[in-house]
Amino acid sequence: MKDSCSSVSELLEKYFDQEVTDRERLLVEGHLQDCPICRDALTSMEGLRTLIKVPVEEATQQEDFPWVWQKIERGIRLQEKAGWWQSLRS
């Protein structure tokens, strides 16, 4: 990896997450035009995002979040409540 690759590789993840400044974005994009190694690294990040995103989206569609929240609320209500005097002491 060339020297310019090492400096860009530090920014590549931020670039991928769109967290770079305009100056950093231009630096990375200019480097990516000439560097197949860094382009491959960026492509790998995109592939990883896809591998993670699909199962997470499927799981959220299958999960019944209102039911989970109802169960949590029920548990909170069923907890033994301290008496008035005990709540003042704590």
Could you report the per-residue pLDDT of 59-79, keeping only the tens digit for each?
877 776 777 778 888 888 777
Residue 1 near residue 36 (C-beta atoms within 8 A): no
What's the average model confidence in pLDDT over 9-21? 91
User: Which pLDDT band holds residue 3 (cuts at 50, 70, 90)?
Assistant: low
Percent of the chain at pLDDT > 70 equals 83
- Asked whether 5 and 38 are in contact (CB, 8 A), the reply is yes
Rounded Cα–Cα distance for residues 45 and 59 (Å): 22
Task: Output 45 or 63, whichever has higher pLDDT.
Answer: 45
**Alpha-carbon torsion (74, 78, 79, 85), positive or negative:** positive
Average pLDDT, the chain: 83
